Amino acid sequence: MNTQQKIEELIKIAEEIINFKGLDIAKNANHSVPGEGDPDAKIVFIGEAPGQVEDSTGRPFVGQSGQLMRKTLTETTGIKPEEVFITNIVKFRPPDNRDPMPNEIEACRDWLDRQIDVIRPKIICTLGRYSMAKFIPDVSISRVHGQPRFVEFLGQKYIIFPMYHPAAALRGTGVLNEFKQDFNKLKNLLNPVSVPQNIPEEKPVVTQPSLF
Ligand code: URA
């Protein structure tokens, strides 16, 4: 897909999200938050769900935790936020920022899968446990954050790089330090000569519901 085709596809997905009224959180949203960034991005960041500032602007990761994420990205890697693609597992704000529910994740799954498949980045950075669980199930974020692994997803091989959610980094200095260190590791991953040769492989992720 060339860049123009990617832009058209991403706009089509965003329009579907904006027009969707099949969930209460979609009906109650001030703005849906499809995601934004470079259609040719080498890195896609996936968070959990929009918060209040995202709901009032329609843009992902622009509140307090988003500002930390965007600033740390640029300070450590030199990459500007507009050079990556930033999106969420769930595209509408859950009330009082509660955790997303399984039916909400499922209703938004196809849009995220298509966004990834259009962009086909080299690295997918998951922010927090919900986006991590999409690619690396049954692990604890405190054990695996900052450790890249290859995952086959929709027939493509991606480096999945699990990171803490920036909201967790805002809550405590320990996590904040680890969050920053992980961005330094991400910088090294982007340098082809330093990509570790021993990145472990996960089993392919099944995204279609099982028939049995
Ligand atoms: N937290 C998220 O997970 N996503 C956002 O877009 C904002 C805050």
Burial track 112-145 (b if 16+ CB lie within 10 A, e otherwise): bbbbbebbbbebbbbbbbbbbbbbbeebebeeeb
CB 179 within 8 A of CB 127: no
Look up the CATH architecture of domain 3-134+148-191. Answer: 3-Layer(aba) Sandwich (3.40)
Between strands 36-37 and 123-127, the pairing is unpaired
Query: What per-residue confidence (pLDDT) applies to 186?
Result: 97
Q: In this structure, which amino acid lies at residue 119?
A: I
Among 80, 78, 79, 48, residue whose Cα is nearest residue 65: 48
- Centre of ligand 1 to C-alpha 66, Å, is 7
CB 64 within 8 A of CB 170: yes
Residue 76 and residue 8: Cα distance in Å, rounded?
32
- Centre of ligand 1 to C-alpha 95, Å, is 13
Pocket test for ligand 1, best of 32, 62, 65 (most atoms within 8 A of CB): 65
Residue 176 and residue 58: Cα distance in Å, rounded?
26
Query: What per-residue confidence (pLDDT) applies to 200?
Result: 76
- Centre of ligand 1 to C-alpha 197, Å, is 32
- Centre of ligand 1 to C-alpha 211, Å, is 32
Between strands 43-47 and 123-127, the pairing is parallel
Determine how many CB atoms are found less than 10 A away from the CB of residue 15: 11
Query: What per-residue confidence (pLDDT) applies to 210?
Result: 36
Determine the atom of ligand 1 nearest the C-alpha atom of 86: 6
Confirm or reject: Cβ of 50 under 6 Å from ligand 1.
yes
Sequence ranges of the domains in the chain: 3-134+148-191
Specify the residue for token string 């049954």. 138
Confirm or reject: Cβ of 148 under 6 Å from ligand 1.
no
Confirm or reject: Cβ of 161 under 6 Å from ligand 1.
no
Confirm or reject: Cβ of 32 under 6 Å from ligand 1.
no
Query: What per-residue confidence (pLDDT) applies to 188?
Result: 92
**Assigned token pair, 80:** 């500007």
Confirm or reject: Cβ of 36 under 6 Å from ligand 1.
no
* Cα torsion through 177, 178, 180, 181, rounded to 10: 120
Q: What share of the chain is helix, strand, coil (3-state, %, to 5)?
A: 50, 15, 35
- Centre of ligand 1 to C-alpha 61, Å, is 5
Query: From first to last of its 212 residues, what are the pLDDT tens digits of the chain?
Result: 999 999 999 999 999 999 999 999 999 999 999 999 999 999 999 999 999 999 999 999 999 999 999 999 999 999 999 999 999 999 999 999 899 999 999 999 999 999 999 999 999 999 999 999 999 999 999 999 999 999 999 999 999 999 999 999 999 889 999 999 999 999 999 886 655 666 777 765 655 443 33
Looking at the DSSP bridge assignments, the partners of residue 87 are 46
Write phi, then psi, for 152 (nearest 5 degrees). -85, 125
- Centre of ligand 1 to C-alpha 91, Å, is 9
CB 38 within 8 A of CB 86: no
Determine the atom of ligand 1 nearest the C-alpha atom of 33: 6
